[in-house]
Structure 1
Amino acid sequence: MSSFLAFTIFGLFSGAAYAIVASGLTLTYTTTRVFNIAHGALGMVMSFVFWDVSVRQGLPPLPAFLLVILVIAPAIGWFIQRFVARGLGDAPVSVSLVVTVALLVACIGTAQQIWPPASRTVQPFMPGKQITIAGTNVSAHQIITILLSVAVALGLFALLTRTRIGTAMRASVDNPDLLRLFGGNPETVAALSWAIGTSLAALGGILLVSQVGLDYYALTLLVISAFAAAVFGRLKSLPLTFAGGMALGLAEAYAKGYLPTDGLLSKVGNVIAPLFLFVVVVGMPQTQLRIGQVKGLVYAPVPSLPKSAGWGFGLIVIATLFTAGMSEANLLLIGTAATYAIVMLSLVLLTGYGGHVSLGQFTFAGVGALTYAKLDEPNLLGLLISALVAAGVGALVALPVIRLTGLYLALATLAFAVLMDKLIFQADFAFGFGGALTAERLSLFGTQVESTQAYVMVMVVFFVLTALALLSLRRGSLGRLLIALRDSPAACGTLGLDARWFRVGLFGLSAGIAGLAGGLFAGLRGTIGAADFQFFSSLTLLLFAVVFGVTSVTGALLGGIGLMELPVQQSENPGVAGLLFVIISVAAILLARNPNGVAYYLFRFGNWLDRRYGTTVRARIPILPVRAPDPDGPSSGISDLLDGDVHHHGTDADGPAVGVEGEEVGAYVAPRG
């Protein structure tokens, strides 16, 4: 009985902290319609700030606590709303997800830059003081945490339902124009919501840091529990959010106390939060889940097959010349870039063409790599089976979430990635007791590719073939159906199209492409482990895809190179390792509303060169105004690379539509004939 009471008290302590963090998350979403993926990362940064102020600067714990909670955290929340999250509530779901993921990565980079890795400890409040309940010791810190969680729940409920500012908060998301007519300012209300939400994230982080420790990722991952509690409350009910946090804390405590200490069940206690999140998301009523679809995406129309093949052949030639005589270490880096580029092609299909955001795409690459190594069939058949297994896993993930869109679909993929990372990849039956598996190089038609340079070229060829297949799919009726389902699923439904099963196939094909990359990566490295496929890699993968262009093959190629360079530059310049995370995050925030990313500006520059130094015949032929071009028509210009020029499809709130020559609709082009 005493052990049960001890587990219960510990569960209530953890659940209380989860409830505090989840309440801030719910408040921010309820009043601004922005789901802050970076909520836990903000709490992590504030925990480091609290340590710095109280330990390194020598301020007493209570003044340091009040300074962080009442001054620093609200100021940071106001700054984020004013300069980062402003207007995100009206943006497509994909934009807010990308911006908040970028904010999460920026928080981790900032913490690493300011506070490099070192041993740090934070003492609990009132250390050494405790009371005894039925033979179980309860620390003062645990009692304070539980009392604060109750106070936060009651305070937020009173704020939203009993005060004028709470009414303004609810009105700012329901009808901001009406709020302005009554003298309110929606931006001020949103800033206040972010200030309070960030303070609650800081409060939860500080209360848990004495138990978890000052770790960049451990504190950030605690937000998975807050996600689960917030979704349990349907992102609007504070009492249900509080109950969900408490239930989750108790479930974790009982699982760690009563589950076996060895075997697969011993690891279940570490994945209660993502498992709870996945179950809650899947079990939610459908009417509560349709909160937004990715709309208004910009995409680059594909060139003709001969032009695509020509650019693909040119890439192979350039790669052959570039890798000739290269050192083994550099060849491995080029092969890693090819791996990332192929995985990003899966995001081009899923996000760029299909409009769905996945926060666990690199996990499918891990499934492909694990299958390839376990099969011990280093040939094309083994590689094909690896891709098919990953595709099957992707389809199985999509089946339970077949009706979900937008935010909840992204959360489901995040929960799946964490489950695979903690429960499968780190299990002994996956990568073995040593945490690593060996894999042989791929053999083609009975001949093994032993040279690293030759194997890298094989990977480049697979990238080109996969890119050509994607572009061919986009040119056909299936590609047009993808765009139609992305932009107007309701209209497609009236025509009798079943978008749900189509989405399952889309997820399966996207996961299969990622699994193909994983199998090739296993052969390249020769030895793979669970650390190669951590779910955090999927977040940085998404950021690089957005920065360089998630709608084009060119963006995937550039993104793969950039993602490969990130750890290289961090190892060569350890003094700015965290700053590099911040730079790529800022770039993702700036480019989140333009999914073509850097590739867009390359296309525009190529169009300018084409107009400036193109054929002189064009200048002599009379030019006529035209209407908006056919998005599936031919493209021109030396900037096509593998995709073609940039066009807008649907509604773009950030700029005018772009024509064949990259100018506004109504620009001039040379007539045919």
Structure 2
Amino acid sequence: MDQFITFGIVGLSTAAIYAVIGSGLVLTYSTTGVFNFAHGAAGMLAAFCYWQFTVGWGWPVPVALVLVLLVLAPAFALLVERAVLRPVQALGEAERLVMTVAMLSGLIAAARWIWDPNVARPLPTFFADRKPFHLGPATVTWHQAITMAVAVAVAIGLRVLMYRTRTGAEMRATVDDRALVGLAGARPVRANQVAWILGTQLAAIGGILIAPTVTLDASQLSLLIVSAYTAAVFGRLRSLPMTFVGAIVVGCMESYLAGYLPQNAYLPGLRLAAPALLLFAALLAFPHRRLRGRDRRLRQIPVPTMAGTGLFALVVVAFGVVLATVLSAPDLITYGPIFSLGVVALSYVPLAGYAGQISLCQLSMAGIGAVVWAHLGAHGELWALLVAVVVSAVAGGLIALPALRLSGVYLALGTAAFAVVLDQWIFTLPTFKLFGVQIGLFDQGSVTAVGPDLFGLHLDSESQLMVFAAVCLALASIGVAALRRGRFGRRLIALRDSEAAYATLGGNLLLAKALVFALASGIAGLGGALYGMQLQSVSATQFNLVAGLPIFLVAVVGGLGAVGSGLFTGTAYVGPINALIAIAPWSQNAVALLPGLAGVGLGRNPDGVVPSMRSEWAPVARDRIALPVLVLGIAAAWVLRLADVIDGWVFCGVALVLALALRGWAAARQRAVLAAAVAAGSAGAEAAAPEEVPVEWLGIRRAWRPEDEEVLARGIAAG
């Protein structure tokens, strides 16, 4: 009994920290309509700054606390609100969610840059020199007592603020109708700023309180927010009292699992994954009302032509062949994942781009594909690659079944929880038997993967595997484009526009979600298998949630509705980062910030970079001089590289400079031609826009077209 009470005290102390952090998360969401995935990262930064001031520089604890909580935390909150989130306040929920995910990734990278993760940084508890006191048979440290007292004070203070002050009323009203609140004499911007300041301060308090009891690590501290997520979901993202109840459940569960969980090789990861499992269960068990701040902003997803997609596929293969022949063996290992990670990124297009389903576990699905290939394709059996795709697809379909009732933020939380469960528990399991079948995963370390046997030819060199991955990316891109043009693709667009309208018109939500999750997971599993082949040895840490965030961000920046997003993501994520590190090794930590910074810049171009790049390079593709010169110039440089006259870096530089120069020249020629046409009086006829026909008059005022079916469906869904 004494032991049970002791573990209970530890659990309540931990629960108090989760309650403080979770209440800040609920406060921010319920008053601004933005779910802050970077909430835990803000607390992580505060903990590191507190360590730097107190341990690193020897400042007094009170001075450090005042500086962190009353100066740095409010300044950081105001910077985030003004520079990052205010520009996307008028955009959709998905864009605001991506912004906070970008901040999470960027802040983790920044912390690793400033504070070397290989250096231990122990942080003493508050009043560590004082003897603990006793409550009956339980021993309570002063740090635990302070933690619980702070949680009580936070609960009382927030209650008074939200329901007994004018500022609290403004904060609660702002998210419902900013314009109306402004007409009533309130200041919505100030209310948002107050909410962000208080939320960041609460995250900082929680980070400082929990840092002495865990390892001061950027990723670990940031992902402790999963437990706070669970507490917030208990409160359904709006109730502070229920958030505190959820925090008690999570904290005590962790403590009692640590104390009473049997010791064997299969259960240690369960204790680490328990908060994520509880989060997933809470998402499914609790009813969720309409998401605060959700809107109805819809965007047109372009329909790719098969001719254009076929040309793009040829470009992908040609790009792979050129890279495979011009890069050295070490560079092939470095840049080989361009195409395999491009396949993983392509999986976001049908899932998030077409169907509007936000998933943060696609790299985990890739990990499943890598594991299946490593074990079943140990000798290069090509059928094992198909099995890897199928197993990943089945896993994705299983995710969709319980996630049927989730959407938006809740779906992102559910898939993040699933990724954490895989990271912390499933991928760490030793070999086990299931229904008499022996199943091996990463074997608590790493697994070896080999290249496939293709029609009697064993692909084992880096160049062969790069070309094979490029071919797979090209074929997958054609398949995704064909999906968008087909009936199921149009159904996915309708599903994204309005799930209620889709179901009302006879669509099967369960079937549609299960199929699109399975399809996307199968594509990700293919990318994971290719990734394993190219690296030859992979571990579970390469497929965790934090590793997948930059890929997700770059894919979003590229444009989730564009088939070319796969190649763009692989190239942008692997190419510039490794190239900058090769040129300037000292910039390794700085370039890790690039995906997060790119995600933060999404507000300036919410449709993505790929559509813009397509329009920018269209003059080159249409120019009868520029395109042949570009092809011949790159071919000539390629021949010189094959003859070892120039090296791979010179080839890449020549190709890049030539392409940029011809793009500018072709754009200038196009402008000149248009100017001449205007002067001749012929531009009006060429540039005349077709007559806009209302949806209800399609087929009457002009002939019916096949694409009008989708236009009509979108009009019905939007209405």
- TM-score normalized by structure 1? 0.89
Secondary structure of the 2:402 match is: coil
Higher mean C-alpha deviation, range 447-456 or range 611-620: 611-620
String of CA shifts for 1:516-548, please: whole Å, max 9, x gaps.
111222222222221221221221111111222
Higher mean C-alpha deviation, range 446-455 or range 44-53: 446-455
Partner of 1:357: 358
Distance across 1 between alignment mates of 2:319 and 2:441? 36
Contact 1:390/1:514 (8 A) holds in 2: yes
Distance across 1 between alignment mates of 2:602 and 2:691? 24
Contact 1:98/1:592 (8 A) holds in 2: no
Give the alignment partner of residue 426 of structure 2, picking from 420, 424, 427.
Answer: 424
What is the aligned-residue RMSD (CA, Å)?
Answer: 2.5
Partner of 1:561: 571
Q: CA deviation at 1:569?
A: 5.3
Partner of 1:671: none
Say if 1:126 and 1:616 are closer, same or farther in 2 by CA, change over 3 A: closer
Distance across 2 between alignment mates of 1:526 and 1:624? 54
Distance across 2 between alignment mates of 1:424 and 1:567? 31
Distance across 2 between alignment mates of 1:265 and 1:294? 44
Secondary structure of the 1:497 match is: coil
Q: CA deviation at 1:629?
A: 8.8
Tell me which structure has the larger Cα radius of gyration.
Answer: 2
What amino acid is the match of 2:410? Y
String of CA shifts for 1:313-349, please: whole Å, max 9, x gaps.
2332342233215322222233311111001110111
Partner of 2:318: 317
Say if 1:383 and 1:12 are closer, same or farther in 2 by CA, change over 3 A: same
Partner of 1:49: 49
Partner of 2:703: none
String of CA shifts for 1:425-453, please: whole Å, max 9, x gaps.
12222445561112221011343223321
Contact 1:21/1:201 (8 A) holds in 2: yes
String of CA shifts for 1:216-236, please: whole Å, max 9, x gaps.
111101100111100110001
Contact 1:297/1:650 (8 A) holds in 2: no
Give the alignment partner of residue 530 of structure 1, picking from 537, 540, 553.
Answer: 540
What amino acid is the match of 1:340? L
Partner of 1:268: 270
Contact 1:111/1:578 (8 A) holds in 2: no
Give the alignment partner of residue 449 of structure 1, picking from 441, 444, 459.
Answer: 459
Q: CA deviation at 1:625?
A: 2.1
Secondary structure of the 2:450 match is: coil
Distance across 2 between alignment mates of 1:218 and 1:420? 15
Distance across 2 between alignment mates of 1:431 and 1:36? 33
Partner of 1:488: 498
Higher mean C-alpha deviation, range 356-365 or range 587-596: 587-596
Contact 2:231/2:244 (8 A) holds in 1: yes
Say if 1:223 and 1:504 are closer, same or farther in 2 by CA, change over 3 A: same
Secondary structure of the 1:285 match is: coil
What amino acid is the match of 1:403? R
Partner of 1:102: 102
Say if 1:257 and 1:627 are closer, same or farther in 2 by CA, change over 3 A: farther
Secondary structure of the 1:132 match is: strand
String of CA shifts for 1:560-589, please: whole Å, max 9, x gaps.
022223663575455433332333322212
Partner of 2:240: 238
Distance across 2 between alignment mates of 1:563 and 1:470? 21
Say if 1:343 and 1:334 are closer, same or farther in 2 by CA, change over 3 A: same
Distance across 2 between alignment mates of 1:87 and 1:310? 37
Distance across 2 between alignment mates of 1:533 and 1:517? 12
Give the alignment partner of residue 285 of structure 1, picking from 279, 287, 306.
Answer: 287
Give the alignment partner of residue 152 of structure 2, picking from 150, 153, 159.
Answer: 150
Partner of 1:249: 251
Contact 1:286/1:403 (8 A) holds in 2: no
Distance across 2 between alignment mates of 1:525 and 1:491? 45
Distance across 2 between alignment mates of 1:123 and 1:215? 15
Higher mean C-alpha deviation, range 607-616 or range 224-233: 607-616
Q: CA deviation at 1:113?
A: 2.7
Distance across 2 between alignment mates of 1:51 and 1:206? 9
What amino acid is the match of 2:110? T
Distance across 1 between alignment mates of 2:39 and 2:156? 21
Partner of 1:658: none
Higher mean C-alpha deviation, range 569-578 or range 579-588: 569-578
Distance across 1 between alignment mates of 2:30 and 2:350? 32
Say if 1:83 and 1:612 are closer, same or farther in 2 by CA, change over 3 A: same
Q: CA deviation at 1:407?
A: 0.7
Secondary structure of the 1:137 match is: strand
Distance across 2 between alignment mates of 1:361 and 1:306? 29
- TM-score normalized by structure 2? 0.83
String of CA shifts for 1:584-633, please: whole Å, max 9, x gaps.
32221222463442223312312455575469799457325224899xxx
Contact 2:369/2:529 (8 A) holds in 1: yes
Partner of 1:520: 530
Q: CA deviation at 1:271?
A: 1.1
Partner of 1:633: none
Secondary structure of the 2:85 match is: coil
Higher mean C-alpha deviation, range 598-607 or range 403-412: 598-607
Partner of 1:551: 561
Higher mean C-alpha deviation, range 185-194 or range 119-128: 119-128
* 2:76 is aligned with 1:76: yes
Contact 1:569/1:577 (8 A) holds in 2: no
Partner of 2:473: 463
Contact 1:48/1:214 (8 A) holds in 2: yes
Distance across 2 between alignment mates of 1:314 and 1:255? 54
Partner of 2:615: 604
Distance across 1 between alignment mates of 2:154 and 2:22? 11
What amino acid is the match of 1:225? S
Contact 1:552/1:596 (8 A) holds in 2: no
Contact 2:17/2:206 (8 A) holds in 1: yes
Secondary structure of the 2:140 match is: strand
Secondary structure of the 2:237 match is: coil
Partner of 1:623: 686
Distance across 2 between alignment mates of 1:149 and 1:363? 35
Distance across 2 between alignment mates of 1:291 and 1:407? 11
* 2:571 is aligned with 1:508: no
The number of equivalent residue pairs is 633
> What pairs with 1:219-238 in structure 2 (closer than 5 Å)?
219-238=221-240
Partner of 1:385: 387
Partner of 1:639: none
String of CA shifts for 1:390-427, please: whole Å, max 9, x gaps.
00000001100112111101110000000001111122
Q: CA deviation at 1:72?
A: 1.5
Q: CA deviation at 1:183?
A: 1.6
Q: CA deviation at 1:59?
A: 2.1
Contact 1:341/1:559 (8 A) holds in 2: yes
Contact 1:399/1:504 (8 A) holds in 2: yes
Contact 1:290/1:404 (8 A) holds in 2: no
Q: Where does structure 1 lack aligned partners over 5 or more consecutive residues?
A: 631-646, 652-673
Higher mean C-alpha deviation, range 239-248 or range 453-462: 453-462
Say if 1:266 and 1:583 are closer, same or farther in 2 by CA, change over 3 A: closer
Say if 1:108 and 1:163 are closer, same or farther in 2 by CA, change over 3 A: same
String of CA shifts for 1:339-392, please: whole Å, max 9, x gaps.
110011101111112212111110000001111112236233111110000000
Distance across 2 between alignment mates of 1:282 and 1:577? 41
Q: CA deviation at 1:96?
A: 1.2
Distance across 1 between alignment mates of 2:287 and 2:221? 31
Contact 1:437/1:528 (8 A) holds in 2: yes
* 2:44 is aligned with 1:34: no
Distance across 1 between alignment mates of 2:607 and 2:170? 37
Contact 2:554/2:598 (8 A) holds in 1: no
Distance across 2 between alignment mates of 1:167 and 1:293? 22
Higher mean C-alpha deviation, range 520-529 or range 167-176: 520-529
Contact 1:390/1:511 (8 A) holds in 2: yes
Secondary structure of the 2:298 match is: coil
Distance across 2 between alignment mates of 1:379 and 1:603? 38
| Identity, % of aligned positions | 36
Contact 2:227/2:250 (8 A) holds in 1: yes
Contact 1:108/1:578 (8 A) holds in 2: no
